[in-house]
Structure 1
Amino acid sequence: MHILIFSDQHPESAGGAQVSIRLQMRSLEAAGHTVTVCSPKMHQAHDEDPRYIDTPSVPITIDREYSMTVPGRATDRWLDKRLAQLPPVDLVHVQADFWQAIIAYRYAERHAIPAVHTMHNRMDVGIEQSMPAPKLVTGALTWWQHRVLKPRLSTLPTGVWAYLQEYAKRARAVIAPSAHFAQLLRDEGVVNRPDVVWTGVDDAIVDEVLAAQRAAKRVQHRPVFVWTGRFSHEKRLMEFLEAVRLSGADAIFRLYGAGLLLGKAQAFVAQHDLAERVVFAGRVSYRESLAAIAGADALVQTSIGFETQGMTVFEAAALGTPSIVSDPSIAAELPDGVYWEPADGSVEALAATITTVAADVAAGRSKTFAPATSREFRQSHQTSRMLEIYQRVLGGGAA
């Protein structure tokens, strides 16, 4: 079948949803299907790919990495013309919440193609933490959605959850990337029966990384902690650095990623004389990220109440690396024995956990477990579950 995926941001830009889409694309293709990803054109250097359809866009961030396409008739005409050059689309998979979601549903309804929707985004937390007037922003988004996506189907009072329900009402199936986010969507009335499909870990790369780890000789070293993600407030990057400072742990803390808080983070490290312990490793490829996690003594996850799935801790579990998990909802998705959980969400509790883990690692008492062999951590298993949903939808079933 030909699956058309819509994403608010380009697959080659930074972000967990983008990693998820790239993994799904490769795994679906390995299963014999055709995948096209439709997203706004990226205004920063990146790898070109004939499987991407880049809709006309304008940049929305200073670094020009993220952009948006304006939904409407002009975009509809452009997209129809572009897709006419490709094999007929069998199913639309919406993995977007804003402009591209609207474009996706307009396309699906225009051509009578069934749609499924993976909801990646904690919009309530994201808007509240990143916008100066959250209610005004939510109201504007809802007004915009109703203006270009008609008729109105949501039955909830105006707000974030009504906004998401507007999409859910148009989808044949709604998918959540974790059990805790699925429960939240149910609790808020967005959808009655969401499916849960994790973002798995790339089978081939995990095997390659583990093979390289087995071949390498392990030597005694200072404990190594890895933090990976976007350098932004909701990821609690600065809280993590403060916890590192408070812990006083004699360890190496390697930070992978980039973002608007990079300068502030570097200034903090310099101010508190942490340069010998904190290393800014920059953005790396997916494979390099997995290799870094596999080579670390622990991964540190710091956001709380923001992630719809803790992808990095799943990757760590698949690679045999334990994690310090700050978010109780994410910890609840993990098997026992593969993580530490701070006593609460405070910086002090995180610092205390870092201190304990560093001391245990230095003394040879760290958590040890074999890389997870359960198929559920692998993308191939999750893609099989996704294909079951696709077949149900194409067969006429609904969520």
Structure 2
Amino acid sequence: MRIAMVTDYYLPTLGGVQTVIKAHKEELERDGHDVLVFAPLAEPSTDPAVVRLPTARGFAPDGYPFTWTPSAAAACLRDELRSREVDVVHVHTEMFAALAGFEAARALGIPIVQTMHGRIDVYTRSVLPLPSVTTALLAGMHRRRMSHDRARVDSSAPYTRTRTARRMWRLMVSQANHADQVIVPSAHFAEKLLAQGVDTPITVLSNGLEQSVLDDIGNAEARVIRPGEPLQVMWCGRLSPEKRPEVFLDAVGQVPGIVAHLYGDGVSRGAVSRHAAQIADGRVEVHGPVPQSEVLAAMHRAHVLVSSSLDFDNQPMVLLEAIASGLPVVVTDPDLAETLPSGGGIVTPTPDAAGLATVLARLRDDPAQVARLSAAAAAHREQIAQTTHRAALLGVYEAALATVR
């Protein structure tokens, strides 16, 4: 099978979407399939299977290359999909590259699979300047290229009560309903999409880690806290309001005897660095953006990984990487509990800094619990390998192909 992955974000920029696409690509190629990636890029890729879509010059919102113009991207994709005889188009995002993918695939009669990776309603509210204005512009540009008539958003849900949220949910629901099949990595996000009117068949399919990443992680190691050693706590993600790094820092500040390391970059990096500097004894280090290899190495030095986001994340890849290394995970969002292996992670009693501090203090004082959590995480390693989920992914592609046969 020849599959085209179409995305608004790809390597070398960092993020969960990029990591998932890389995992899909590597595992499908290992199984004998051809995979092409189409994305805006700051410069051409050295990988011949990665094709640069028309990209704006001097405009990279939040540091990401931006597809421009949509018409040029659609024309490029029509030519490429036709000449390369692509069987399935798999779209991973919701901006102009994605819309160009839909337009080109429909023109050629190629089935479309859409993965819904995350909550762009929360992302746009947290990151974009003047979200009441910018979301209106985004939704308007999206609607010009894809009808929103099939989106009937329920405004009674807690997450759709604002006008800006409803705009983004209409965008998400519309795009899902224009696909032939939809993939969602978590049940909690799938339930929201169904509640908001997605009628395209949805498959809940966990993300997975490709073999090269598992090789880089190496063996899952039991975490041991030696007498007198501080609890080593790790945080990794986009430094942005929706990820709530300040909640993590507030919790660390309340618990002596722990040392924290943050990895990532984003609009909140300056504020995070200033906040970290105020914590006594230099117990927090903000490392900024680093290669994935450094993140994986840091996981082996840590005793626990913390995710402090709430009502945003779908299935963060960093949680899977931590589990594969045998690193216990603490989450503040109850929805993320479905990602945690039984006995291999903890959901805080409350999502605030006090709830997180309570858990961190307990782990600091109970090295045996850290060891038990670590062993349970390591035992789950096989379940998060991309190989485990490859057949289900191919099954979604076959279901999409069946709609045009």
TM-score (normalizing by structure 2): 0.87
What residue is the counterpart of 1:359 in the other structure? 365
Q: Distance in 1 between matches of 2:74 and 2:61?
A: 27
What residue is the counterpart of 1:145 in the other structure? 142
Q: Distance in 1 between matches of 2:70 and 2:275?
A: 45
Contact 1:6–1:104 at 8 Å: present in 2 too?
A: yes
More helix as a share of residues = 2
- 1:379 is displaced (CA, Å) by 0.8
Counterpart residue type for residue 379 of structure 1: Q
1:126/1:193 Cα in 2 relative to 1: closer, same or farther (>3 Å)?
same
**1:162 is matched with which residue: 165, 170, 175?**
170
1:205/1:127 Cα in 2 relative to 1: closer, same or farther (>3 Å)?
closer
Q: Does 1:112 align with 2:109?
A: yes
What residue is the counterpart of 1:317 in the other structure? 323
Q: Kindly provide the CA deviation profile for residues 235-289 of structure 1, in whole angstroms up to 9, marking residues without a partner as x.
A: 11122112111122x12212122223222222222233342x2122333333432
Q: Distance in 2 between matches of 1:112 and 1:186?
A: 26
What residue is the counterpart of 1:189 in the other structure? 197
Contact 1:161–1:189 at 8 Å: present in 2 too?
A: no
Contact 1:235–1:303 at 8 Å: present in 2 too?
A: yes
What residue is the counterpart of 1:380 in the other structure? 387
What residue is the counterpart of 2:302 in the other structure? 296
The share of aligned pairs that are identical, in percent, is: 30
Q: Distance in 2 between matches of 1:108 and 1:66?
A: 24
Structure 2 SS opposite 1:35: strand
Q: Does 1:173 align with 2:181?
A: yes
Counterpart residue type for residue 295 of structure 1: R
What residue is the counterpart of 1:5 in the other structure? 5
Q: Distance in 2 between matches of 1:128 and 1:141?
A: 12
Q: Distance in 2 between matches of 1:159 and 1:253?
A: 38
- 1:397 is displaced (CA, Å) by 8.0
What residue is the counterpart of 1:335 in the other structure? 341
Structure 2 SS opposite 1:169: helix
1:166/1:329 Cα in 2 relative to 1: closer, same or farther (>3 Å)?
same
Instruction: Specify every segment of 5 or more residues in structure 2 that has no aligned partner in the other structure, as ranges.
Output: 154-165
What residue is the counterpart of 2:288 in the other structure? 282
What residue is the counterpart of 1:237 in the other structure? 245
Structure 2 SS opposite 1:67: coil
What residue is the counterpart of 2:160 in the other structure? none
- 1:226 is displaced (CA, Å) by 1.2
- More off after superposition, 284-293 vs 302-311: 284-293
Counterpart residue type for residue 96 of structure 1: T
Contact 2:3–2:34 at 8 Å: present in 1 too?
A: yes
**1:77 is matched with which residue: 75, 78, 92?**
75
- 1:369 is displaced (CA, Å) by 1.8
1:187/1:354 Cα in 2 relative to 1: closer, same or farther (>3 Å)?
same
Q: Kindly provide the CA deviation profile for residues 70-124 of structure 1, in whole angstroms up to 9, marking residues without a partner as x.
A: 344333333344556x521111001011111111111101111110000112022
Contact 2:91–2:98 at 8 Å: present in 1 too?
A: yes
Q: Distance in 1 between matches of 2:224 and 2:87?
A: 49
Structure 1 SS opposite 2:90: strand
Contact 2:116–2:183 at 8 Å: present in 1 too?
A: yes
1:127/1:218 Cα in 2 relative to 1: closer, same or farther (>3 Å)?
closer
RMSD after superposition: 2.8
Contact 1:162–1:190 at 8 Å: present in 2 too?
A: no
What residue is the counterpart of 1:33 in the other structure? 33
Contact 2:109–2:404 at 8 Å: present in 1 too?
A: no
Q: Distance in 2 between matches of 1:155 and 1:373?
A: 38
What residue is the counterpart of 1:20 in the other structure? 20
Q: Distance in 2 between matches of 1:294 and 1:160?
A: 38
Q: Distance in 2 between matches of 1:125 and 1:218?
A: 37
1:318/1:209 Cα in 2 relative to 1: closer, same or farther (>3 Å)?
closer
Q: Kindly provide the CA deviation profile for residues 28-47 of structure 1, in whole angstroms up to 9, marking residues without a partner as x.
A: 1111111111111226xx96
Q: Distance in 1 between matches of 2:336 and 2:60?
A: 29
Counterpart residue type for residue 382 of structure 1: H
Aligned residues: 390
Q: Distance in 2 between matches of 1:176 and 1:395?
A: 20
1:8/1:350 Cα in 2 relative to 1: closer, same or farther (>3 Å)?
same
Structure 2 SS opposite 1:305: coil
1:270/1:374 Cα in 2 relative to 1: closer, same or farther (>3 Å)?
closer
Contact 2:334–2:347 at 8 Å: present in 1 too?
A: yes
- 1:299 is displaced (CA, Å) by 0.7
Q: Distance in 2 between matches of 1:333 and 1:87?
A: 37
Instruction: Specify every segment of 5 or more residues in structure 1 that has no aligned partner in the other structure, as ranges.
Output: none
Mapping for residues 218-229 of structure 1, pairs under 5 Å:
221-229=229-237
- 1:223 is displaced (CA, Å) by 2.0
Structure 1 SS opposite 2:341: coil
Q: Kindly provide the CA deviation profile for residues 58-78 of structure 1, in whole angstroms up to 9, marking residues without a partner as x.
A: 254477x31211344333333
Q: Kindly provide the CA deviation profile for residues 181-234 of structure 1, in whole angstroms up to 9, marking residues without a partner as x.
A: 1111111112364111111123343255343858x9996643211111111111
- 1:336 is displaced (CA, Å) by 2.5
- More off after superposition, 358-367 vs 87-96: 358-367
Q: Distance in 1 between matches of 2:266 and 2:293?
A: 20
- More off after superposition, 317-326 vs 113-122: 317-326
Q: Distance in 2 between matches of 1:325 and 1:197?
A: 21
- 1:362 is displaced (CA, Å) by 8.5
Structure 2 SS opposite 1:159: helix
